[in-house]
Structure 1
Amino acid sequence: MIDFLYKIIQESARLWMAMAPYLLLGMFIAGILHAFLGQSFLTRHLGGNGFSSILKS
């Protein structure tokens, strides 16, 4: 049982380390978009319920 829990923790840590660069890159890009475009621009272009909002995002 202890071995099973150890494997879960080990694999979770491995997965986190594999995902970390992509998560950081995504947060960096989101921060740049927020800084340069602003919330009103994003809401106006991506905030609708239509198909065009889905394509733009």
Structure 2
Amino acid sequence: MKEIIEKSISPELEYFMEENEISSVDAMLNIDNEDLLQMEGFGWRMMKEVLSLRKIQ
């Protein structure tokens, strides 16, 4: 049986996605780390969360 894991994100990361018009968590996870870190408003705390979400995939 395939287990479905719901990806919940912090309000801070959700706000970042809205401000940068990133449509979904999957879309964000496909952006390179270097590109995310260069985007306005993205910091190391959110990078830690993104890396954690990538482990779940």
Under TM normalisation by the shorter chain, which class is it?
Answer: under 0.3
More helix by share: 1
- TM-score with structure 1 setting the length: 0.26
Larger radius of gyration: 1
